[in-house]
A and B are shown apart, each in its own frame.
Chain A
Amino acid sequence: MSDLFSLLWAPFLMCLVLTGIHAYLGIHVIAREVVFVDIALAQIAALGATSAFLIGFDLDSWASYLFALGAAFVGALVLSLTRSRERRVSQEAVIGVVYAVSAAGAVLLLSQAPHGADHLRGMLVGNILTVAGADVLRVGTLYALIGAVHWLCRRPLFLITTNPDAAYREGRHVRGWDFLFYATFGVVVTSSVRIAGVLLVFSYLIVPGLAAFMLARTLTSKLIIGWGLGVTVSIAGILISATLDLPTGAAIVCVFGVALIALWMVFRVWRRSPSTQ
């Protein structure tokens, strides 16, 4: 048992780190109706790392990480520039194009590489089970810094997310703040996906936020619900993975799904009860 515990403590702490930043960012992402933005930014970051690899840098090197971040910033720039006040086109359509083109671009680049697609898979399929204590510390520090930036800029960031019209009327530099949002988001997603894989990162981003919007109105209560759900699901998912011997990431994702269904049923009963009384 001590063996199993010592294997799983680092993944568990990493899940808490992921919960901390993603449940918060998820609230932005759901309010902005851009839920697939993480997958698009992860894919364009993978494209950046792929070009670094073709130039001759190793996939684990700093250069590769910088290329990935640079590409994610380009993606952030595209997303912030394509935003218009009238919103004639949904941002989701742009996100879809960014995803498809960067995924196809990576295939074209990799057709020139000796090992082919294996390397791209390495970019997008992190495994939460192999996380080490040092990773938790490194990523935790990075996310704390990004969290601090968001805390300092909370007023404009939330204004643009929840009420862009008001932001335009106040004369705020909407595109600039938008770029800051997507750039910091890109940093988080690039690191998270390398660690935990696309599926797990998507779940940590969307499910807590969805539950929060279902149950709460104010930002504080949304955050509390999101973080509470994230922590509960992390614990349950890791315990289930350990006792039933299932792949850890997939187990957590499925527990997220079950938790969401359970919350939804409780919510329906709770909303009906006043009318039936």
Chain B
Amino acid sequence: MRFSPWLVVTVLILGPWTADGEAQTVRVVASLTDLKALTEAVGGELVEVDSLARGTQNIHDIDVRPSLMLKLRRADLFVRNGVGGDPWADPLLVGAHNTRIMPGNPGYVDASLGVAIIQPAGPIDRSRGDVHPEGDPHYTLDPANAAIVTANIVEGLKRVGPQHAALFDARRQEFLSRLDAGVARWQKNIEPLRGAKVVTYHETFNYLLRRFGLELGGVIEDRPGIPPSPAHLANLITTIKEQRIKVIAAEPYADQNIIELVARESGAKAIRLPSAVGGVKEADSYLALMENLVSALVRAFR
């Protein structure tokens, strides 16, 4: 199809009006894909959700296109992860000049409110690696937290779309009962692995491991973005051998060469785990992500 300049002009002029015309749906922007998926789960066809980050991305490399800024500008609701998981969203929020979705206003949701955040052990100081000052931000990977997160989201949706309040509640209940059924099944499948240790690339999967009775045996890159030191790698390989740790689980964006090195030297098996919805193609919804994570872990230990 050829682009006619008149078509572009017409769309640019008429675009905002048609968007205002369909005020039925609530326009939501989420910072991360997990929150997008959970908002879609409780909002269904009543919401139109976009995510600032993509699922495969390391959430610190976000390249913003004008359309995303425009979506933030027109959004009725902004759902963010908080806990230091999406600080890059702050300048975007300021740049979008949309007061409705600024902190303290009805269109702003911090999905972490009320979630029990895993705090780093020991005192927080700048000499320790891999410590988020606010705690571990990857709380959506524990399905038990989904009830709290969706409650926060539904509260926000009701504030900006009160006419759909009953529907949001009903959809949330339906989603949670399907999730509960899933959790029961996943727990049964993963039960034989209880107490097993897993080495991860970053400390991304703490909530997931804790929920399903697994333990963290160590991390490869102990300081995000900084190549691990030779001594750290040697220690880790020794630990894996001594404790007979079988599986190294890495995020989609993790450095393949280092993972292969550790796997080769230690004899453990390396697998990729999606760290968010969209991290692998099959994990296209929250339930699919959890399904994928659990079955990948179970398969790896076989």
Whether a CB of chain B sits under 8 angstroms from the CB of A113 is yes
Any B CB within 8 A of the CB of A263: no
Contact A130 B64 (CB under 8 A): yes
Q: Are A1 and B13 in contact (CB under 8 A)?
A: yes
Residue of B nearest to A117 (CB): B225
Q: Number of B interface residues at 8 Å Cβ cutoff, please give it.
A: 37
In contact, A4 and B70 (Cβ under 8 angstroms): yes
In the assembled complex, the Cα of A114 lies from the Cα of B127 at a distance in Å of 7
Q: Does B257 count as interface, using CB distance less than 8 angstroms?
A: no
Bound CA span A253–B224, Å: 29
B224: chain A residues at CB < 8 Å are 115-118
Q: Does B128 contact A (CB under 8 A)?
A: yes
Check A111 against B223 for contact (C-beta < 8 Å): yes
Cβ distance A5 to chain B, nearest Cβ, rounded Å: 9
CB of B272 to closest CB in A, whole Å: 21
Of B91-99, B158-166, B178-186, which binds chain A?
A: B91-99
- State the main secondary structure of chain B at its contact with A: loop
User: Which residues in chain B, 271-296, are within 8 Å of chain A measured between CB atoms?
Assistant: none
CA distance in complex: A127, B132 (Å): 24
In the complex, the chain A residue whose C-beta lies closest to that of B9 is: A1
Cα-based distance from A115 to B137 in the complex (angstroms): 13
A130 in contact with B92 (CB, 8 Å): yes
Bound form: Cα–Cα A107–B226 in Å: 7
Number of A-B contacts defined by CB within 8 Å: 93
Interface string of A104-140 (1 = CB under 8 A from B): 0001001111111110110000010111100000000
- Contact in complex: B126, A121 (CB < 8 Å): no
A170 at the interface (CB under 8 A from B): no
Listed A/B pairs (25) with beta-carbon separation below 8 Å? A1-B13, A3-B73, A7-B95, A7-B97, A56-B126, A107-B227, A111-B223, A111-B229, A113-B126, A114-B128, A114-B132, A114-B133, A114-B223, A116-B130, A116-B226, A117-B225, A118-B60, A118-B224, A127-B91, A130-B64, A130-B94, A241-B65, A243-B8, A247-B64, A248-B66
Extra contacts, 10 of them, besides A114-B132, A247-B64 (Cβ < 8 A), are A1-B15, A3-B16, A3-B70, A111-B229, A113-B223, A115-B132, A115-B224, A127-B64, A130-B64, A130-B91
A residues bordering B, Cβ < 8 Å?
1-4, 6-8, 54, 56, 107, 110-118, 120-121, 127, 129-132, 241-243, 245-248, 250
